[in-house]
Structure 1
Amino acid sequence: MPGHVILSHGSDAGPDATKVSALAKIAESLGWTTERPDYRADDAQGHAGSVEPRIARLHARIVASNVPPVLVGSSMGAFVSALASLEQPVAGLFLMATPPLIPDCDLALDIREDVPALLIHGWQDDICPLDEVYEFARRRSLPLLVLDDDHRLGAHLDELGRQFGFFLEQLAKHA
């Protein structure tokens, strides 16, 4: 049974960014409801300064949802989605180009073991190096799909869409 999806954009983007917009359309085509919070005001505080306000904004959206939502995020959006899932019930995490750390931020990437998750990353990501994400996924035995792409994963929108559709279908089957 479809549920609700909250899609969080990266720091240098907005709620109409290419990836979150494309993934929202896929979710909606499968019967899921979606929303895309706008973090641009939070992002004006810099990377480290935006983490806590983004998490607070995301917590408010999770609480307002009448079902545990699936959280989708790209880059900073992935980082805060993972951290928000530690304190609020969520149905799953679909995380792209995820930074394991944000410089000058005291928080580090973490994911609850009981939350279904998929990490997708680019081999040529020069903003969030693959080695650290790979090590995080390895320690947690999390699925990690690595694509021949950079941080934006823009050359693989179709593949992201396929993976996301499959992820949502699997969650709906087990709901």
Structure 2
Amino acid sequence: MSDNLLVFAHGKESGPWGTKISHLARTAQRRGFAVISPDYSHTHDPAARIAQLLALQPQAQRLVLAGSSMGAYVSAMACATLKPRALFLMAPALYFPYPGWDAEPEGIPALCSVVHGWHDEIVPVERAQRFARQHAAELHLLDSDHGLNDQLEMLDLLLDRLLLRVLMQAP
């Protein structure tokens, strides 16, 4: 079992090592976290992606889950089983009124940071606000769109801050 592990979940249309994840992986590695980013591109079914993540059984003394868009939904829904120390969600695709997309995540860790763009054209900002209110999570609203790719520096700072808080916790 690794001491520190960050598991990324990519969005519906992206891949496991896109611009955002590759950038943030370097942030995590600088903080001493191993990083994995499974490839979910074979399916757009959120239940299948959640099952794939759970089947990996990622384990670490300090496990952190992170996801973007649909990947944020997958990461949030895996919390009850995987029990991460922290959760980092970017433009989380939560609370869509479709079967498989409408469940309330459970087991959300106390260290939870949500980042959303004010101009998100895919997931309304109110969904991030609802999640943050429901789970007492940090909420960072940025002058950006759904991809948040123009905010890599800020995402880097926010993830770094969260990982530092994880590292400051007792093992």
TM-score (norm 1): 0.88
Equivalent residue pairs, number = 168
Q: How does 1:90-109 map to 2 (within 5 A)?
A: 90-106=84-100, 107-109=102-104
Contact map agreement 1:97 1:120 (CA 8 A) in 2: yes
CA drift at 1:108: 2.2
Kindly provide the amino acid, as one letter, of the partner of residue 32 in structure 1: F
User: 1:70 aligns to what?
Assistant: 64
Q: What SS does structure 2 have at the residue aligned with 1:67?
A: strand
Q: Which runs of 4+ in 1 moved over 2 A?
A: 64-68, 101-109, 111-115
Distance, in Å, in 2 between the alignment partners of 1:114 and 1:10 is 21
Q: What SS does structure 1 have at the residue aligned with 2:80?
A: coil
Change in Cα spacing, 1:2 to 1:88, as seen in structure 2 (3 Å) is: closer
User: Quick one: percent identity of the two aligned structures?
Assistant: 34
Change in Cα spacing, 1:155 to 1:64, as seen in structure 2 (3 Å) is: closer
CA drift at 1:154: 1.1
CA drift at 1:40: 0.5
- Bigger strand share: 2
User: 1:54 aligns to what?
Assistant: 49
Distance, in Å, in 2 between the alignment partners of 1:145 and 1:27 is 19
Contact map agreement 1:99 1:109 (CA 8 A) in 2: no
Distance, in Å, in 1 between the alignment partners of 2:49 and 2:131 is 22
Q: Which stretch shifts more, 127-136 or 6-15?
A: 127-136
Instruction: State yes or no: 1:87 paired with 2:88.
Output: no
User: 1:25 aligns to what?
Assistant: 26
Q: What SS does structure 2 have at the residue aligned with 1:41?
A: coil
Unmatched runs of 5 consecutive residues or more in structure 2: none
Instruction: State yes or no: 1:148 paired with 2:143.
Output: yes
CA drift at 1:113: 4.8
Unmatched runs of 5 consecutive residues or more in structure 1: 44-49
Contact map agreement 1:90 1:115 (CA 8 A) in 2: no
CA drift at 1:135: 2.3
Distance, in Å, in 2 between the alignment partners of 1:14 and 1:128 is 19
Contact map agreement 1:2 1:172 (CA 8 A) in 2: no
Distance, in Å, in 2 between the alignment partners of 1:111 and 1:120 is 19
Give a deviation string over 1:130-175, Cα, whole Å, max 9, x none: 1122123123322100000000011110000011011101100113
Change in Cα spacing, 1:16 to 1:113, as seen in structure 2 (3 Å) is: closer
Change in Cα spacing, 1:144 to 1:102, as seen in structure 2 (3 Å) is: same
Q: Which stretch shifts more, 97-106 or 158-167?
A: 97-106
CA RMSD of aligned residues (A): 1.8
Change in Cα spacing, 1:111 to 1:153, as seen in structure 2 (3 Å) is: farther
Change in Cα spacing, 1:2 to 1:144, as seen in structure 2 (3 Å) is: farther
Distance, in Å, in 2 between the alignment partners of 1:55 and 1:171 is 23
User: 2:7 aligns to what?
Assistant: 6
